[in-house]
Structure 1
């Protein structure tokens, strides 16, 4: 892929995910931060200007900075993600004729995602007082 074409594709990807993230602000079932993280990555590969704009944005910037510095996934986002996974798994199991190996694969991937989500902190670590010498 030519460099110019790649840059345009990454810019389009970035703006697409910014748009999805913005929609996620008003729709509680659509996550905001994961989409903005993808947009931030795409901008980091294509436009320093847009990367800086998104990273320092008044509303979108703080959760991105929290993720970068501390790996934080807010409790609300964890609840939404895990609930969505559980509902999705239930609907697939009850309403489809998916073979057992498809269900096992889906449930395994969901479990990996759930473990990842649950092992991330929900808030900043408490500052430790400096040890006296």
Structure 2
């Protein structure tokens, strides 16, 4: 799998696709994205049930025992993708652990930058 990224432009408040990122000064964006007003997100290489590519920062709904909402994060200490549970931010599990019916029902709802309201805990 070739690494693939997208970025959220904090200046323009919009998502910059991989193709458009390649048209920008990529070396500056990858060296110091904060200085460029960008938040970089890497693709997990996985897709939801509709074929939408899943990136870091995406908010996912999984039809499991609780119809739960998770956010995709890179866990630096464990060096792997994890899903962090919306109602208990301390609870997460490895993204590679998803298989079978869970993966078939995985749906990308949005991302934490463009749709932060989806990540707020709903009581």
TM over 0.5: no
TM score, norm. by length of structure 2: 0.27
Tell which structure's C-alpha radius of gyration is larger. 1
TM score, norm. by length of structure 1: 0.26
Q: Which structure is higher in strand share?
A: 2
